[in-house]
Amino acid sequence: MELRGIGIGQGVAVGTVMRMPDPLPEPAVSPSLLTPDAEGDRASKALAAVAADLMHRGERAGGAAQDVLEAQAMMAEDPTLSDDVTTRLAEGKTAERATFEAFAAFRDMLVAMGGYMAERATDLDDVSQRVVAQLAGLPAPGVPDPEHPFILVARDLAPADTALLDLEKVLGLVTSDGGPTSHTAILAREKSIVAMVGTADARRLVDGDEIIVDAANGVVITSPTPAQKTDAAARIAERAARANAPVRPGALADGTPVPLLANLGNADGAAKAVELGAEGVGLFRTEFLFLAAANAPTVTQQQDQYRRMLKEFPGKKVVVRALDAGADKPLAFLNDADEENPALGLRGLRALRASEDILREQLTALARADAETEAEVWVMAPMVSTVEETRYFVTLAHELGLKTAGVMVEVPSLALLADRVLQQADFASIGTNDLTQYTLAADRMLGSVAHFQDPWHPAVLRLVADVGAAGADLGKPVGICGEAAADPLLAVVLVGLGATSLSMSPSALADVRESLAHYTLEQAKDLAAAALAADGAASAREAATVAAEQARRESAIETEPSPADAPASA
């Protein structure tokens, strides 16, 4: 039997299943034997203890995991939630019941908001479980710890658990919930965990089942045959060999350079990215400076953080994305108003333009950090949808001392006007996650429409081709910074469509570098043409696969010695 889901990365794992324990039961509805003040003291101590534990786990994990866990800790300390708990305690409820109900109400509110905030409801469930366990004197629900390696199967995995997985034991991860941009997926990519999310039938898997998790093909194979296990073992060995091979610059088989860059969320991952062969940074997300802050960070605070990143890449390109926040990632000092559909609301450059002082301070801090380091700093704006917005951002960035300013192509309107956009911008970087979301009208945070969130769709590829063509005509660079660049075969197609650089999670660099080296630019264009001629995402991938096999066969024939070149027999 095969189970379908969304593969994270290109890895393969073989092992036996171990399921996450069931969550704690809902606390009983029974009157408290203590006073509200006494119960309030218990609740306050439990919330504080959980917040402290999450902060400690974040410090141990570092990187993107630290940002996620610190955000969870803030949930436990949210004053609105604390006030709700107090109100429920006054009704005579126990601390366990009052906190459970308060978190449940908070969760329902996030789900109703949809998009990014709905995806965070799972994180809130985890905090609730931890607080109830703390109050009951029970161990917090978490990952099992057997004596042997295993593949972890769960409905979803809390960030606190994902961040500290023992990678010596956890061979792979399968979840029934979650999408390609859930916290589970983000942290799995960062930690190079072989993972499948959104695997609807994962509930069929039971402890002790032997399975193959094939993330590259988005499939879980149950009761694998000896031949399937042998094939999986060979693929695991091939990936290990690629990861340990000497690092070289990204290039096609004919020598056409394709710089391979890293997507980073903060400076902590810079050294590891360089070690894995990153030739620079194609997407430096600056949200980590803002999301946990009650007030916008100062110019000096931002400057210090940018300098930390830039000094790791002397002489190399670092593309910094201006703050990408808004109603889906609400900031009290930027925009925390409720919106019916935040993915289409006041976010990205729209929000920054409405609070231009924050944008000016960020660009000023970046320009100052640029002057103090030897990196080649580029800056780009998110959620740009018009030529006028492009002109506004590029002009402001230049005015504040940044030499190279461009835009992210995430909205179809910008791709359709790429020839005019790139007359204004110094470069374009295509964010395939959002471009796919907006092209196919499918919220990328919702598992129910996750099957639409496929950058192989010809409609998405056609928009990429439009931007690539405009870049070639105007001599402007066109990068890819969405997770599509981490798919080794799709990376070749994207280059064939006109991408001049690819940026991805550092763990994907070796696979993509190896894939590019097998095809010439003309062959990459042939793969792209085959994918564009398809009707859907699955058929586009299949067409490109067939074209790739043909190209590999032709290359093998060309490299075989001709009879005239064969050595004479002795």
Q: Are 166 and 193 a contacting pair, CB within 8 Å?
A: no
The pLDDT-based confidence of 451 (bands split at 50, 70, 90) is confident
The pLDDT-based confidence of 560 (bands split at 50, 70, 90) is low
Residue 256 CB-density burial (10 A; 0-12 exposed, 13-18 middle, 19+ buried)? middle
Q: How many C-alpha atoms does 416 have within 13 Å on its Cβ side?
A: 7
Average pLDDT, the chain: 88
Q: How many C-alpha atoms does 262 have within 13 Å on its Cβ side?
A: 27
E strands in 109-268: 150-154, 170-175, 195-197, 210-214, 219-222, 260-264
CATH superfamily of 2-21+142-231: Phosphohistidine domain (3.50.30.10)
- Beta-carbon contacts of 19 under 8 Å, excluding residues fewer than 6 positions away, are 144, 152, 153, 154, 205, 206, 207
Residue-wise pLDDT tens digits, 300-353: 999 999 999 999 999 999 999 999 976 455 666 676 666 777 778 888 999 999
Distance CA 460, CA 490 (A): 12
Q: Do domains 2-21+142-231 and 36-136 have the same CATH topology?
A: no
Q: Are 205 and 154 a contacting pair, CB within 8 Å?
A: no
For residue 292, pLDDT beyond 70: no
Query: What average pLDDT score do residues 189-211 get?
Result: 89
Rounded to 5 degrees, what are φ and ψ at 500?
-105, -10
Residues designated catalytic: 183, 481
Distance CA 281, CA 263 (A): 6
Looking at CATH, the fold of the domain delimited by 253-555 is given as TIM Barrel (3.20.20)
Residue-wise pLDDT tens digits, 367-398: 999 999 999 999 999 999 999 999 999 999 99
Residue-wise pLDDT tens digits, 496-538: 999 999 999 898 898 899 999 999 999 999 999 999 999 999 8
With 0.85 as the threshold, say if the pTM is over it.
no
CB < 8 Å & 24+ apart, contacts of 26-31:
26/100, 27/94, 27/96, 27/97, 27/100, 27/132, 28/94, 28/96, 28/97, 29/93, 29/97, 30/94, 30/97, 31/92, 31/93, 31/94
The class that CATH gives domain 36-136 is mainly alpha
Distance CA 132, CA 141 (A): 10
Bridge partners of 380?
321, 406
Distance CA 524, CA 497 (A): 8
- Beta-carbon contacts of 422 under 8 Å, excluding residues fewer than 6 positions away, are 428, 467, 470, 471, 474, 476
Query: What average pLDDT score do residues 28-39 get?
Result: 91
Q: Are 95 and 39 a contacting pair, CB within 8 Å?
A: yes
Residue-wise pLDDT tens digits, 53-81: 888 888 877 766 777 788 888 888 888 88
Which is more confident, 119 or 385? 385
Residue 201 CB-density burial (10 A; 0-12 exposed, 13-18 middle, 19+ buried)? middle
Q: Exposure string (b/e) for 96-111, b if CB count within 10 Å is 16 or more?
A: bbbbbbbbeebbeebe
Residues in the chain: 570
For residue 33, pLDDT beyond 70: yes
- Boundaries of every domain in the chain: 2-21+142-231, 36-136, 253-555
User: Which residue do the tokens 């786990």 mark?
Assistant: 57
